Amino acid sequence: MKVSYAGATNGKGAIYTWDGNDDVGSGRMEILQTEPHSRVLVKLDFLKPFEGHNTSEYTLASASGNTTVTWAMYGPSPYVSKLMGIFVSMDSMIGKDFERGLANLKAVSEQ
């Protein structure tokens, strides 16, 4: 997979792009907004194998010395996506990626 970075080195305006095989496809992520210790908003554009434009939001909440991270993704759902959702479970399709991403975030944050 080919990965590249552009824009700001971190925070608002930081851009990450990827281009790979059919398993990972290609796309682009750009940080739109950050609120330190509480929220990160990311514009997420999938280009291949299916085009999709979404927003990914990471919300952090601290309590009792722990931090809970909530990862949400939302955006428009064209007809083809709605139809596909009837036959394919999005959770089974990308749930593993969300779980792996959150596990990696946990490991890095605890170092």
pLDDT at 83 over 70: no
Rounded to whole angstroms, how far apart are CA atoms 3 and 15? 11
Determine the pLDDT at residue 80.
62
Residue 67: C-alpha distances to residues 59, 70, 106 (Å): 10, 10, 10
Quote the CA–CA distance of 30 and 103 in Å, as a whole number.
21
Domain range list for the chain: 1-76, 77-111
Could you give the CA distance from residue 46 to residue 53 in angstroms, rounded to a whole number? Answer: 6
- How does pLDDT run across 12-29, given as a tens digit for each residue? 999 999 999 887 889 999
User: Which pLDDT tens digit goes with each residue over 39-79?
Assistant: 999 999 988 887 889 999 999 998 888 888 888 888 877 66
Q: Tell me, what's the pLDDT at 71?
A: 86
More confident residue, 56 or 95: 56
How high is the pLDDT of residue 72?
87
Q: What are phi and psi of 92, to 5 degrees?
A: -70, -25
**Amino acid, single-letter form, for residue 105:** L
Predicted pLDDT of residue 24: 83
The tokens describing 86, both together, are 């009837």
* Residues β-bridged to residue 59: 39, 70
Widest distance between CA atoms in the chain: 44
Q: Among 95, 98, 108, 25, which Cα is nearest to 67's?
A: 108
Structure tokens at 43: 């514009």
Instruction: Output the pTM of the full model.
Output: 0.78
The predicted pLDDT at position 22 comes to 81
